């Protein structure tokens, strides 16, 4: 299997001259080569959605948001829609409604013939996106995450519980009113209902996607979807909890293991390593590209980060 270091050496052998006359690794060439090889190997379209979110110098455009639609439109343009889609996904998550928009768009183009490959992490709304596909491919190093909403880093379930605890205690101990008034005043009006709506939205989207695609031929699709949602959209102790392929299979998701096909594993991880190195060595914070070499690249460096 090509390692991260192997891909780095390949990039160092493939250099190009920039407009300013400097030489640098030809990231586009190497990345496009491996995406094309994967497309030929599977005889399917391939779109890569990579966010460099694990690099602390990058931001703010590392999440799933509405601006990503431009990249997906660019990547889908000119593809043979009858060949389906293999989506390589590495993301921390983001806006559930933007994710819904991406799912709707991809399904209009490829129907339900979409597989997702998770070379490392597809968390939060990235997990939701993975659940919209018919099969999820994961390796021993791959993880999905909880889909419970967050508000400025605070779990929605914790906020909901705080309001519910206040209600219970005020019934039995009215003298605590002033304490709860001070504590809950940090939230805007009707915030409790907003929190509940967001929790329900995550469940509804994933429920609809699982039933309509992954379990479309299953007689007990509703029961399977409900079981999965009860594990994913819950207070798991941390929104950063990592579900490996064994846990994902146990909760009922259709998981295929990358290690069962060494050539497929090599190609997927080579693409991921190339994206990671590009993120480490350039201002790139997001890559959306296809097997025909069409690349949408977003740049973003946090002030004070490496230039």
Predicted pLDDT at 301: 55
Predicted pLDDT at 16: 82
Is residue 51 domain-resident?
A: yes
Is residue 304 domain-resident?
A: no
Is residue 130 domain-resident?
A: yes
- Total domains present in the chain: 1
Task: Express each pLDDT in 104-137 by its tens digit.
Answer: 999 999 999 999 999 999 999 999 999 999 999 9
As a whole number, the mean pLDDT across the chain is 93
Is residue 15 domain-resident?
A: yes
Task: Express each pLDDT in 225-237 by its tens digit.
Answer: 999 999 999 988 8
Domain region containing 107:
4-299
What is the distance between the alpha carbons of residues 38 and 56, in angstroms, rounded to a whole number?
Answer: 30
Is residue 109 domain-resident?
A: yes
Q: Could you tell me the two tokens for 293? A: 């070499």
Banded pLDDT at 306 (limits 50, 70, 90) = very low
- Which pTM value belongs to this model? 0.92
The enclosing domain of 23 has a CATH number of 3.90.226.10
Task: Decide if pLDDT at 32 tops 60.
Answer: yes
């Amino acid at each position: 299997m090509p390692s991260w270091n192997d891909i780095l050496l390949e990039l160092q052998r493939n250099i190009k001259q920039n407009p300013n006359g400097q030489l640098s690794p030809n990231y586009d060439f190497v990345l496009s080569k491996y995406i094309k090889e994967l497309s030929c190997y599977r005889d399917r379209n391939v779109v890569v959605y990579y966010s460099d979110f694990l690099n602390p110098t990058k931001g703010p455009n590392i999440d799933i948001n509405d601006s990503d639609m431009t990249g997906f439109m660019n990547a889908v343009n000119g593809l043979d829609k009858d060949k389906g889609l293999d989506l390589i996904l590495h993301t921390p998550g983001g806006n559930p409604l933007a994710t819904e928009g991406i799912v709707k768009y991809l399904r209009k183009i490829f129907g339900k013939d979409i597989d997702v490959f998770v070379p490392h992490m597809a968390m939060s709304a990235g997990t939701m996106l993975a659940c919209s596909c018919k099969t999820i491919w994961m390796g021993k190093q791959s993880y999905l995450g909880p889909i419970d909403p967050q508000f400025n880093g605070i779990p929605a379930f914790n906020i909901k519980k705080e309001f519910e605890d206040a209600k219970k205690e005020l019934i039995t101990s009215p003298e605590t009113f002033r304490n709860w008034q001070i504590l809950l005043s940090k939230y805007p009006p009707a915030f409790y209902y907003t929190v509940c709506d967001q929790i329900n939205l995550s469940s509804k989207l994933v429920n609809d996607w699982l039933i309509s695609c992954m379990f479309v031929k299953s007689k007990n699709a509703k029961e399977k979807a409900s079981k999965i949602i009860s594990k994913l959209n819950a207070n798991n102790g941390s929104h950063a909890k990592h579900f490996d392929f064994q846990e994902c299979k146990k909760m009922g998701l259709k998981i295929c293991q990358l290690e069962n096909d060494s050539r497929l594993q090599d190609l997927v991880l080579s693409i991921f390593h190339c994206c990671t190195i590009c993120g480490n060595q350039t201002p790139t914070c997001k890559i959306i590209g296809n097997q025909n070499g069409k690349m949408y690249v977003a740049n973003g460096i946090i002030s004070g980060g490496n230039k």
